[in-house]
Amino acid sequence: MKKIVKKMIFTAFATLGAVFFTACANEDTEWTSRGVAVATLNGVNIYEHEAAVFIRQAKEFLAWDHLAIHGAFEIDFENEYAPGVTFGDAVREQAVRFAATTTVFEAMAADLGIALTDDDLEWIENNIDLLIRDMGAQGLEDALSRDRIYGVNHLRSLHQNQIIFEYLVDYFLASEEAFARFEEYVPPNPTDEIIERAEQLLQRARAGEDFSYLVATYGQDPGMVSSPQGYTFASGVMVHSFEEATRELEIGEISDLVPSSFGVHIIKRVEPNPDEVMGVPGEDEEILAAKHILLSFPEHIPTLMDRQVEAILIGIDNMVAGGEINFLPALENLHLD
């Protein structure tokens, strides 16, 4: 599964706007020797070179926050960020939160006996080798920098953490019992919400509310603006489900919900206008006419797995933010420059 959902998981992380994958290795240290541990969070060691990345990201995070509030990007770490809290303290606290969220995945995996395989590590190295071969070492460094990735070892760590998370997804989705702790965070299916809204509009239309008003107020077909009296059309012009639903109605009758590739339609058959026929009708063909309320489906409809992955991310983030997953007040002695 991990190669298949790789893009999906990165997309989910970006959508949430959270920093989960931030650990990096020292550029001068082999990955198998991670240096000096400066803190332990969730039972996972944080090494000095990794903590430096958390600090850097926390500084950037708070600097942008400061820019939004005060109109200035530069911050003085001795100044007050909040009552009784300096910017320096705030940076350290934010860095710990980034570190805590990252180590949660590694800690959970360790508890479940989940670890990277030799094949995983080989895949990561082959992937990096291909990038270097295609872009050159400096070209890759420049590209990573533009994407706020701090060197090849940081990229290596991103891949490792990503695969660990994918293994966790496999585990939590393997059974209802394992996934139960995240069930409450599953976002609703957007098509379900659209259908619910359409059902409400259908009830209003059938209760006698002005159909043209409902079309103009809630409909999402721009063609109805230029054709407020409805479309008059020959066979084959409209999508099949729309045409067939219209054909089954009497003049003035309102359809049930009619799904199509465009979304959900509520159709009212009307008298045709022979001067505005769309298409070329065949001999003795019945000309149809209808106006409709269209509620469009989104361009991308997330699958159930998309939404379950998002639920796991949200659930773990909430555990960290709410203190359910505890982390130590670490990184106090790290330099901020």
Q: What is the pLDDT of residues 305-319, one digit of tens each?
A: 888 888 888 887 777
The stretch 177-201 carries a mean pLDDT of: 90
Q: Taking CA 68 as the corner, what is the angle to CA 65 and CA 69, rounded to the nearest 5 degrees? A: 90
The whole-number pLDDT of residue 323 equals 58
**What is this structure's pTM?**
0.57
Mean pLDDT of the chain: 78
Q: What is the rounded CA–CA span in Å between residue 76 and residue 56?
A: 15
**Residue 300 token pair:** 């991308």
Is residue 17 predicted with pLDDT exceeding 50?
A: no
Percentage of the chain with pLDDT > 70? 74
Is residue 2 predicted with pLDDT exceeding 50?
A: no
Bigger pLDDT: 246 vs 33: 246
One-letter amino acid identity for 91?
V
The stretch 92-110 carries a mean pLDDT of: 76
Q: Which residues are paired to 46 by β-bridges?
A: 39
**Residue 154 token pair:** 């940081």
**Residue 150 token pair:** 């701090």
The whole-number pLDDT of residue 303 equals 81
Bigger pLDDT: 324 vs 148: 148
**How does strand 37-41 pair with strand 44-47?**
antiparallel
- The CATH classification number of 190-296 equals 3.10.50
Return residue ranges of the chain for CATH 3.10.50.
Answer: 190-296
The stretch 43-58 carries a mean pLDDT of: 72
Which pLDDT band holds residue 300 (cuts at 50, 70, 90)? Answer: confident
The whole-number pLDDT of residue 294 equals 96
Lowest mean pLDDT among 80-94, 205-219, 220-234: 80-94
* Cβ 59 vs Cβ 187: under 8 Å: no
The whole-number pLDDT of residue 15 equals 30
Bigger pLDDT: 98 vs 212: 212
3-state SS, 157-190, equals HHHHHHHHHHHHHHHHHCCHHHHHHHHHHCCCCH
